[in-house]
Structure 1
Amino acid sequence: MESSAVQSFDIVATELSNMLRQKGIEISALHKSRPLRQRTEDHQRQAIERAGRQLQQMEITEGVLEEFEKFRILCHYHKVQPADPKVFTHITRNSAWEILDFNMNQLYRNDMLFKLGNYSIEEYEAYSPWELFNRPQYVLGSLAETTIKLKQDKRMLSLEHIPSYVIEETLSEQRGQYRIKHTFACPLVCNSTNENTMFVSMFQAETLDPQRRVSIL
């Protein structure tokens, strides 16, 4: 018998999928293998929270065309301010960006990220990013160092020094590959404690031609 948590997730994921479809973004709510059913009840509850939070953030930014305005609204939603206000000028309509906490939990992903990939919403919530994608080992150290700096600094960091790299889907039939180029990240400071509690990360993401696959080192 399906748990009430999974049933609740199915409702939220379907609403999220429908909202994305209205924007011209096709992404399935659920996967035929139903991987979330195999996860613990605690994981299922967290999946509901994440999907519900994403849906709520998309609802409050509905109709807002400019990405930097969406970001401004979401800063208010999360009760934070960017450490460097110049960050608003870097978030453009073609930007791929996300908000994460310092445990690397994704708190928001913009529409551009939903356009990439062959996974369902359920797969994104049932598995970790490390299970869903292979990536070069050399980039992990740079990203870890950046996260430590973002926790401590009160400034926007350029990530242009990190070379572009390719990630590859591990669980999809298509095994899609995507070239990632990080551009910047900025700490987000809690309004009440003045501590860095999360950060925004922006990058360029390009879907690679499946006929021209590259090796993941």
Structure 2
Amino acid sequence: MKSFFKKHFRKILITTSLGVFIIFSINYYIVKTTENYVFTEIEKLPKVDAIIVLGAKVNQEKLSYVLEDRLVAGINIIYANKAEAILLSGDHGQKEYDEVNSMRKYILRRNFKVKKEQIFMDHAGFDTYDSMFRAKEIFDIKSAIIVTQDFHINRSVYIARNLGINAYGFAVNEDMYKESVRFNWKIREILTRVKAFKDILISSNPTYLGEKIPITGNGMKSWDTIEKAK
């Protein structure tokens, strides 16, 4: 084994260095090409077709703090009259795990001043790429404000804009989270941006598509049938 490394050390070093260079170049490119579209102040955001709130972990119907922060920010952007509709996009691939209905119920339970017709639900937003692809193809969104934490916002805007959405990002403040948590997010994001770059490069398809539900229509058409009757 030692002799192998001695023999191939130069090749291993060059390959590793090249890999690291490519990874950090992709990350730099994604951040630099989207930074002018990312905002931290609601009043500076433009008016768009829809607010897109990206899903995150839930425990039964209880939102994680990360998701709650995103959702409240999205509601505040609606209140600022930046859009008429809000798209809740997340993982509802299993009956026992449901991010989108948890978000919808949170809005209704808190009596936010948002009409039911304004709330659209994407049950197959299994990852950021799927969420953006479906926002364009299923919900016919041409312009959007994406709401997520700072570590995630550049990748989200990058994907959306490369898929044809005139997208802007609202970076939810994450300073209240532990440094160790934020550090883990940023390390994981380095590799996830590479995947996003690859998905755009090869024009990946989402897990599911389906019939169109235009964002200009009634959001309740995207609700589960049993929930429409409530």
For the criterion TM > 0.5, the same-fold answer is no
| Structure exhibiting the larger radius of gyration computed from Cα positions | 2
Q: Which has the higher strand share?
A: 1
Greater per-residue helix proportion: 2
Relative to the length of structure 2, the TM-score reads 0.27
